[in-house]
């Protein structure tokens, strides 16, 4: 179908829907819109816009336009039009009067700015992507606020002990609280957006659950390679206003997430099967593995113009679409306790065997 086969009405509807979807260019006069759409029939377009107002999809207001031919900008509303703030012409001095024009405003959500951001990485990821990633993200931020990349050192056997998780989460929560305090002091929004990966998702979930941090509120949250349980009570955190939105990015080829439930107490394969809470947006990528999100060949597509992550952070949520969106309807059950205990005991024996073998090899080499 070429553009000529589409009726003008369909074209207008598509163009306006796109504006609402992007949250951009929501205010315009009929003449401006006609110019944008290459539409010669301004009268019909004006009638169409009036119909939108009657239907409640748009509102109408009068705005003044700078009469200087070199400027013609729309003047800020609510101010007596005596001068143009753009070309700095005073109208009386120039002997001109600003022209008034009927404007329309689409009543869609407006796109938001990415605030400052907390990034919580996975275990032992000191990969070069972290620097490239924080640089890319910092370039997207509206405010020159830092990206807080939370580091928790070299975690190894610690992940086996829930008590240590909680201690690490406490340290993360306190660090975030300090950052929120600084944001407030600098008049920045006090709800950071969050990107959490792998073991970082576990720590973030513990911060949400910890009563000590009930005052911490977050903007939009992305979990990638998540080891949060699929039945995690996101609903409660939405209801309590702790999170504004959650995107769970699932990697279909994730080989690490399914093991988490066997090795790390309190976790589950959220990054493989999705979250069951209906408030969460689950998106599956069929090509990705556990850390693909941050690799050079994928990251630019995620946070670049129209990328999924960027769109999630900045655009109205309702129309957000991706081919990988899915709803996790099946109830998820953690494996039986005895199976987990058996698996962990087996794991411990294997680790002990490796340690003993290394010591033995070390002794051999020292003897030589």
75 and 65 Cβ atoms separated by less than 8 Å: yes
Longest dimension (CA), the chain: 100
Tokens 């093991």: give the residue. 259
Q: Closest separation between CB of residue 97 and Zn ion, Å?
A: 13
Q: Closest separation between CB of residue 101 and Zn ion, Å?
A: 14
CA distance 162 to 167: 9
Nearer to Zn ion (CB atom), residue 103 or residue 218: 103
Q: Closest separation between CB of residue 98 and Zn ion, Å?
A: 9
For 227, phi then psi, to 5°, come to -110, 20
Nearer to Zn ion (CB atom), residue 76 or residue 181: 76
Nearer to Zn ion (CB atom), residue 71 or residue 132: 71
Q: Closest separation between CB of residue 36 and Zn ion, Å?
A: 20
Nearer to Zn ion (CB atom), residue 86 or residue 259: 86
Q: Closest separation between CB of residue 292 and Zn ion, Å?
A: 50
Q: Closest separation between CB of residue 75 and Zn ion, Å?
A: 8
How many residues are present in the chain?
A: 368
Nearer to Zn ion (CB atom), residue 81 or residue 225: 81
Task: Locate 218 and state its tokens.
Answer: 């977050």
**Parallel/antiparallel/unpaired status of strands 193-197 and 147-150:** unpaired
Q: Closest separation between CB of residue 227 and Zn ion, Å?
A: 57
Task: Locate 31 and state its tokens.
Answer: 């003449």
Helix (DSSP H) and strand (DSSP E) numbers for the chain: 13, 10
Beta bridge partners of 251: 285
Say how many CA atoms lie within 13 Å of 225 toward its Cβ: 24
Nearer to Zn ion (CB atom), residue 66 or residue 228: 66
CA 321 to chain centre: 13
Task: Locate 1 and state its tokens.
Answer: 């179908």
Nearer to Zn ion (CB atom), residue 89 or residue 149: 89
Within a 10 A sphere around the Cβ of 160, how many other Cβ atoms? 15
Task: Locate 147 and state its tokens.
Answer: 């990206």
Q: Closest separation between CB of residue 93 and Zn ion, Å?
A: 13
Q: Closest separation between CB of residue 68 and Zn ion, Å?
A: 5
Nearer to Zn ion (CB atom), residue 96 or residue 263: 96
CA distance 117 to 191: 9
**Continuous segment of H or E residues that includes residue 362:** helix 337-367
CA distance 198 to 215: 24
What is the binding site for Zn ion (CB under 5 A)?
Answer: 66, 68, 71, 84, 86-87
Within a 10 A sphere around the Cβ of 131, how many other Cβ atoms? 11
Nearer to Zn ion (CB atom), residue 88 or residue 337: 88
Say how many CA atoms lie within 13 Å of 117 toward its Cβ: 28
């Amino acid at each position: 179908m070429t553009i000529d086969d589409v009726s003008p009405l369909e074209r207008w509807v598509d163009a306006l829907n796109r504006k609402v979807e992007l949250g951009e260019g929501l205010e315009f006069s009929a003449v401006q819109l006609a110019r944008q759409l290459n539409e010669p029939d301004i009268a019909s377009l004006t009638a169409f816009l009036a119909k939108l107002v009657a239907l409640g999809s748009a509102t109408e207001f009068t705005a003044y336009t700078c009469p200087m031919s070199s400027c013609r900008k729309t003047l800020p509303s609510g101010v007596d039009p005596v001068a143009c703030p753009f070309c700095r012409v005073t109208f009386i001095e120039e002997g001109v009067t600003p022209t008034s024009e009927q404007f329309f405003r689409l009543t869609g959500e407006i796109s938001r700015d990415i605030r400052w951001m907390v990034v919580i990485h996975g275990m032992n990821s000191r990969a070069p992507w972290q620097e490239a990633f924080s640089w890319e993200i910092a370039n997207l931020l509206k405010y020159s606020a830092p990206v807080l990349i939370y580091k928790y050192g070299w975690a190894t056997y610690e992940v086996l002990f829930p008590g240590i998780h909680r201690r690490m989460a406490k340290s993360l929560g306190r660090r975030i609280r300090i950052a929120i305090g600084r944001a407030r002091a600098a008049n920045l929004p006090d709800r950071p957006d969050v990107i959490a990966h792998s073991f970082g998702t576990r720590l973030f979930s513990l911060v949400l659950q910890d009563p000590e941090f009930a005052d911490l509120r977050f903007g939009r949250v992305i979990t990638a390679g998540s080891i949060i349980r699929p039945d995690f009570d996101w609903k409660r955190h939405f209801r309590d206003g702790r999170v504004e939105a959650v995107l769970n990015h699932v990697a279909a080829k994730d080989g690490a997430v399914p093991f988490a439930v066997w090795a790390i107490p309190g976790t589950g394969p959220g990054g493989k099967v999705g979250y069951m809470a209906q408030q969460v947006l689950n998106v599956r990528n069929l090509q990705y593995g556990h850390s693909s999100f941050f690799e050079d060949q994928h990251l630019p597509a995620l946070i670049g113009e129209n990328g999924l992550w960027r769109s999630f952070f900045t655009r109205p949520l309702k129309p957000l679409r991706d081919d990988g969106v899915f709803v996790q309807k099946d109830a998820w059950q953690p494996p039986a306790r005895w199976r987990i205990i058996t698996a962990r005991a087996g794991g411990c024996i294997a680790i002990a065997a490796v340690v003993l073998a290394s010591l033995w090899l070390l002794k051999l080499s020292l003897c030589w």
